């Protein structure tokens, strides 16, 4: 006798399986993976809970389960992550967008609306899959006058970002492969706004991160001994990065905001503001360059 694997039976088996292998959201993971195999939504899984799966579908689901069992991040398995309500393609070449980074986008919009209602040139350093700059470009899609640039030293990341721009039909963004020092030495034209979510994890803490995070690119996470290496470069390069009156917005790790604010003040920035995320952590540091 062979039992038929239906949607409901399969989920009832897969969720505890993933849980026993360390997933923090086993039921959701199982549903998303099965929905991906069947090319349907999670809701449709429930509407068709008695749907039997054929051999190929079972094999495909099993392959995804095995990847998740290795603690591969869901976003890499699905190839996509939502950010700012937009679907972003992701691959192991890029950091997976985090919800807290939406605060950086929000603050950038606040500043652009207030200080550059007619247009501005905005750059994102370490753009990764392009989520920050593309979210901004999407927000100002209907408004001419704005120009956007995404820069990353990883050619593979820039390729992912370009693909996202194309998919989201956001041709107004230009892309460049360069590191921060090189880009600062050779700006295409003066930016009015610099945004960045640089790598900020202290090197010594990388090994202790969740297995999923350790599968993300080390160069997107490793901020050097104290996690602040990139903020030092940015602070030192401020005069090259921004004209007087330009704005800098940085995401920082938990507890780093005071040190980063001090660095920027020492570099000659004006008043430095800190914005908390939903957990109350100072997550975004904002300053105006007033030499
Ligand atoms: N927010 C990421 C994490 O905590 C780190 C991203 C970064 O280093 N910029 O895993």
Mutate to test the pocket of ligand 1, among 131, 201, 222 (most ligand atoms within 8 A of CB): 201
Radius of gyration from C-alpha coordinates of the chain? 21
What pLDDT shows up at residue 271?
Answer: 86
Show the tokens assigned to 44.
């449709």
- Percent above pLDDT 70 for the chain: 98
Query: Which residues are registered as beta bridge partners of 195?
Result: 124, 249
Question: Which numbered atom of ligand 1 lies nearest the CA of 209?
Answer: 10
Question: Which numbered atom of ligand 1 lies nearest the CA of 213?
Answer: 10
pLDDT in tens, 107-141: 999 999 999 999 999 999 999 999 999 999 999 99
CA of 254 relative to ligand 1 center, distance in Å: 10
Question: Which numbered atom of ligand 1 lies nearest the CA of 95?
Answer: 6
DSSP SS3 for 290: coil
Q: How far is CA 77 from CA 55, 73, 136, 186, in A?
A: 21, 7, 26, 37
What pLDDT shows up at residue 200?
Answer: 98
Question: Which numbered atom of ligand 1 lies nearest the CA of 251?
Answer: 9
What pLDDT shows up at residue 1?
Answer: 42
Nearest alpha carbon to residue 138 among 115, 122, 153: 122
Question: Which numbered atom of ligand 1 lies nearest the CA of 126?
Answer: 9
Show the tokens assigned to 126.
């370490």
CA of 19 relative to ligand 1 center, distance in Å: 24
Q: Is residue 277 over pLDDT 90?
A: yes
Residue ID of nearest Cα to ligand 1 atom 7: 199
What pLDDT shows up at residue 188?
Answer: 64
pLDDT in tens, 244-267: 999 999 999 999 999 999 999 999
In which residue are the tokens 């990139």 written? 230
Show the tokens assigned to 130.
């392009």
Question: Which numbered atom of ligand 1 lies nearest the CA of 216?
Answer: 10
What pLDDT shows up at residue 270?
Answer: 84
CA distance 107 to 244: 19
Residue ID of nearest Cα to ligand 1 atom 9: 199
CA of 201 relative to ligand 1 center, distance in Å: 6
CA distance 152 to 157: 7
CA of 221 relative to ligand 1 center, distance in Å: 6
- Percent above pLDDT 90 for the chain: 90
Model confidence, pTM: 0.94
CA of 213 relative to ligand 1 center, distance in Å: 9
Strand pairing class (86-89; 80-83): antiparallel
Do the Cβ atoms of 210 and 114 come closer than 8 Å?
A: no
Residues having CB within 6 Å of any atom of ligand 1: 95, 98, 197-201, 213, 221
Mutate to test the pocket of ligand 1, among 75, 81, 98, 212 (most ligand atoms within 8 A of CB): 98
pLDDT in tens, 54-89: 999 999 999 999 999 999 999 999 999 999 999 999
pLDDT in tens, 166-216: 999 998 899 999 998 888 887 666 899 999 999 999 999 999 999 999 999
């Amino acid at each position: 006798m062979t039992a038929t694997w239906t949607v409901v039976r399969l989920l009832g088996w897969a969720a505890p399986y993933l849980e026993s292998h360390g997933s923090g959201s086993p039921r959701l993971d199982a549903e998303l993976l099965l929905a991906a195999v069947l090319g349907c939504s999670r809701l449709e899984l429930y509407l068709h809970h008695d749907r039997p799966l054929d051999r190929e579908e079972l094999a495909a689901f099993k392959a995804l389960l095995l990847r998740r069992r290795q603690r591969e991040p869901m976003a890499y398995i699905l190839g996509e992550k939502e950010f700012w309500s937009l679907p972003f393609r992701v691959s192991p070449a890029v950091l997976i967008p985090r919800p807290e980074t939406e605060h950086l986008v929000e603050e950038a919009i606040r500043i652009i609306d207030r200080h550059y209602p007619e247009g501005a040139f905005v750059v994102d350093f370490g753009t990764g899959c392009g989520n920050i700059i593309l979210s901004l470009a999407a927000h100002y899609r209907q408004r001419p006058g704005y120009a956007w640039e995404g820069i990353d030293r990883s050619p593979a990341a820039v390729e992912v970002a370009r693909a996202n721009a194309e998919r989201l039909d956001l041709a107004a963004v230009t892309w460049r492969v360069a590191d921060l020092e090189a880009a600062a030495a050779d700006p295409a034209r003066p930016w009015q706004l610099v945004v960045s979510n640089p790598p900020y994890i202290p090197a010594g803490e990388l090994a202790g991160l969740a297995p999923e995070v350790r599968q993300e690119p080390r160069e997107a996470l490793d901020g050097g001994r104290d996690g602040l290496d990139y903020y030092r470069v940015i602070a030192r390069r401020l005069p090259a990065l921004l004209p007087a009156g330009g704005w800098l917005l940085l995401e920082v790790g938990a507890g780093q905001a005071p040190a980063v604010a001090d660095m920027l003040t020492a570099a000659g920035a004006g008043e430095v503001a800190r914005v908390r995320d939903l957990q109350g952590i100072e997550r975004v540091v904002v300053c105006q360059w007033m030499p």
